[in-house]
Chains A and B, each alone.
Chain A
């Protein structure tokens, strides 16, 4: 009951955040987004036709009225039609699952492998394995994601490289084809994510390892596995959870623009990019508002998970 009350309170408290994010984003769309008028007009338009299109696009309405209309769309979750004529909700329903199953393996493996490498680096702290892992991590962080994608594509997929996987495309109708299409994007995502994740987890683990209670536990002769799980990793869970949870909106809504674009995958990232380029406001409004809502949900869930892993945390 306490958790439920807390969740409701936090959700209510998240409303200003949603309003703020949507207001700023909408202002950016209205004042700095592409003006579609002349793209929707034919050649040699008359001034009347220009006014007609501006009216249809709602450009002639006051900002506040347009923003209130946007809020209404968020409440009803009806964002209208994309520029293709397809309902935005249908577009999201089609693209978000694709992005999820595209990004999820890299997301999970990135965190898991990052944690393993961090533990190894922490164990050999200051010695060559630590230095090697950290050097690779820095490379992963430093190299442009674009270069990583092109590099992996050439090495693993192209006829100039190993030619093991498709260069581009998407087919998740069977596990075999799914794995063939998802492997290279996953490896590219992992390569970059590992840099950030490993460094982060290592710093958290190292800090926890040097605490008095760990030294005390070891002095009492507790087995190392027990120390690791109960004294180190358990105490690391709070920062771990924070890092993982706050990556979720990016995974669910943001997709992976570059990955989807280079590998020809019809996910939400590519749809969002196309919407930005073409000024498809219904799609942009949906993505912005869903991201804000998801972010609030993640904050609530994050706090609840804190409580689950650490009973000392109070939900106030």
Chain B
């Protein structure tokens, strides 16, 4: 042991340590210069900060498959159509298009007129660095990109087999100098699209990020780099993009289009609290900058939101619900939160369901007709044993809306009068069904429930297993198969390797066709018909309805298809989840992340002082 002089030595040690610390500060100062962000130091810019739970993987419209990418894409680029800001159910409106298209009597030719004088942002890819005018040829070029395999496009399915000549163009080598028979620029601002068969959803597909107009100059100059450097004509332009944040700033050349609240579907009874009336007659965008913060961890997101000077809008984390909400139906905040925040509960335009994979002879199609009959009884019994109410309470604040079939509440064709028997738990009924059809604990098949690896997914499985035990499944006959990641479970679904397919689906457009196609026979694996259900009557009705314009007659066909699916017990379906958004009082907004995507961001305004008003 050292003697008592040791503390003196510690003092002596202080000198080199102080030197060391001085060196550290010097090093720090040196390091500060490299990642300097001059944009951050610009004063007095009106900025809207909000959080999302994931970062986009690319900002190129050709691969803009997820909501995170689309939030940025529809703000950096223009699409021909978008959605009315406040109307629910969602309604299309012209964006870059002057008006809705002229459609030929046979429904095969669409003529679109583009707005004149719209310019791309200034960028070095253009001669002289000055953004040129957006023209009809840009649309044709952008759609062609979706059929060029080099781009690994993800949006071609929207127009595949629909727009004439695109497959042939691709088969001939995706040569951009060659024309496509179904796409013509009649002049710089008029576009004609010819279809192979009527496609009532065509206009809606042109509100998706996939159809955003990209200038060929940018693709030629930046190549794959376009994924981190969008060059568009949207309301904002990109400043920076990394795994933690996207920063955009107002496009100074964005066209002046004053807001007409009536045309945006404004409903004072439900939206007055948001302060959107202040936007009437003003031209968006209203903020100088948008800051997208990608925060996976709900605690970090919540801490940043409640801090006051960071994130201004967030989705309420489930662990904060009891602390923040005073009531759930309707959603209201406790007084201390209502003073500071606005709240809005938005129902998902999509659903979560679990499909039975009919390729599995244990519970689907079987060469033995008797076994196939018993399999149907088995599926129906599982559906009866499923507890939607419990799932809703456990995972979705009790605010989700569970419904029979696959026509979701956000679809205009949703039928609120449909019998709820298929979403009402009936354990005695399930047990009886199994018994009447010769199913016993010994001969019940083993059901494999595939999930990605994770605690939440494990809990989903355990909950499902408990419900199945209630109807008579032995514990060992409901097993989990965990996949390391989403890519791996996607592969298993697409290869038809799992008997149960539990997944969510978000509407691409507000039309029940988008969910009904999930069970259309020709869309079987690797297509989106994960159930691999093949019902000739359903397929016939789908084909018949798929060329019809919206009408009561088409809705009737949709309802018949929905009933066929329910009667055949093909899926345990479904629930539309509710997201609760909170935002600071000084922000004028009605947030949404469903079909509307990121279109609403150009209407956001931030006031210097808290605005008056209450919650919903």
Contacts and interface: CB of A to CB of B under 8 A. Distances in A.
A94 B241 CA distance: 11
A239 B242 CA distance: 39
A127 to B, nearest CB: 10
A123 B2 CA distance: 6
Interface stretch (A71-79, A171-179, A244-252): A171-179
A84 B310 contact: no
Interface in B286-328: 293-297, 299-300, 303-304, 306-308, 310
B228 A85 contact: yes
Interface of B: 1-3, 5-10, 12-13, 17, 20-21, 24, 27-29, 31-32, 34-38, 40-41, 55, 57-60, 63, 65, 149-150, 152-158, 160, 222-228, 241-245, 293-297, 299-300, 303-304, 306-308, 310, 484-488, 490-491, 493-494, 517, 523, 526-528
Interface stretch (A137-145, A270-278, A307-315): A270-278
A45 B527 contact: yes
A180 interface: no
A44 interface: yes
Contacts of B299: 150, 153
The 6 A-B pairs at the shortest CB distance, nearest first, are namely A85-B227, A34-B487, A266-B242, A101-B31, A85-B224, A38-B490
Interface residues of A, number: 83
Contacts of B485: 34, 277, 279
Contacts of A42: 65, 153-158
Given A35-B487, A41-B154, A178-B28, A85 B307 contact: no
A105 B28 contact: yes
A37 B12 CA distance: 63
Contact of A56 (B2, B29, B152, B155): B152
SS class of chain A's interface: helix, strand, loop or mixed? helix
25 contacts: A34-B487, A35-B488, A38-B490, A42-B65, A42-B154, A44-B523, A45-B157, A45-B526, A84-B57, A84-B228, A85-B222, A85-B225, A85-B227, A94-B242, A104-B28, A116-B13, A153-B299, A167-B304, A169-B310, A171-B37, A172-B31, A172-B37, A224-B2, A264-B244, A264-B304
B383 to A, nearest CB: 25
Nearest to B226: A85
Chain B contact surface mostly: helix
Contacts of A242: none
Contact of B58 (A53, A85, A168, A182): A85
A173 B38 contact: yes
Contact of B494 (A38, A154, A177): A38
Nearest to A266: B242
Given A44-B517, A100-B31, A112-B21, 4 more contacts: A84-B58, A85-B227, A119-B10, A227-B2
Contacts of A173: 32, 35-38, 40-41
Nearest to A258: B297
Contacts, number: 223
Interface in A164-222: 166-175, 177-178, 182, 209, 218
Contacts of A52: 149
Interface of A: 32, 34-45, 47, 50, 52-53, 56, 81, 83-87, 94-95, 97-98, 100-101, 104-105, 108-109, 112, 116, 119-120, 122-123, 125, 150, 153-154, 157-160, 163, 166-175, 177-178, 182, 209, 218, 223-225, 227-228, 260-266, 270-271, 274, 277-280
A83 B57 contact: yes
A223 to B, nearest CB: 8
B527 A44 contact: yes
Contacts of B2: 122-123, 209, 224, 227-228
A228 B9 contact: yes
B149 A39 contact: no
